[in-house]
Structure 1
Amino acid sequence: MPRLLGFALLLLALGLALYAAWSGWSAAGDVGIGAHGVVAMLLGAFFSLLLAGGLIALMLFSRRRGYDQAAADAMPPRRRRPPED
């Protein structure tokens, strides 16, 4: 049940974000984007993807080299619950 509630909340947040984006886009009317705006948008998207890829690469590098193992060893072991029927 908690998993279903979390999924429903995520869908609600996505719906609200889409509604806000649609409202903002509609409120702008027929305002055009100039060449500088297009270049800025493309550069922003490119560098956002570059940053995300770099952070994922660092995460994988750290995991493969074992830098995170000391933190994982310090955590208490998880207790497993029996599956619910």
Structure 2
Amino acid sequence: MPRLLGFGLLLAALGVAVYASVKAWGAAGDVPIGVHGLVALLLGATFTLLLAGGLVALMLYSRRRGYDEDAADGPDGPRR
């Protein structure tokens, strides 16, 4: 049940983001985007997704290898 609730909240957040994007795009009026603008938009979105994926991969790698265990312990031993 908590997993379904979390998925629903993420889906709702995506819906709000899409709605806000469509409203903002429509508010711009009839302003055309040239080829350079489309290329910049695609490159920016691609780079952002690649960066996010790389950071998530590093986080998962660090957790699986146990590198996070030392950071959570601190100088006085493990936290409780």
Over the residues paired in the alignment, what is the CA RMSD in angstroms?
2.6
- Displacement of 1:24 in angstroms is 1.7
Which residue of the other structure, out of 66, 73, 78, is the alignment partner of 1:74?
78
Query: Mind listing any 5+ residue stretches in structure 1 that lack a counterpart?
Result: 77-85
- TM-score, scaled relative to structure 2: 0.64
Distance change (3 Å), C-alpha of 1:18 and 1:46: closer
Name the counterpart of 1:48: 48
Q: Which residues of structure 2 form unaligned runs of 5+? A: none
- Sequence identity, in percent? 62
Task: Name the structure 2 match of 1:62.
Answer: 62
Flag the structure with higher helix content.
2
Pair member with larger Rg: 1
Q: Which runs of 4+ in 1 moved over 2 A?
A: 13-23, 72-75
Q: What amino acid is the match of 2:23?
A: S
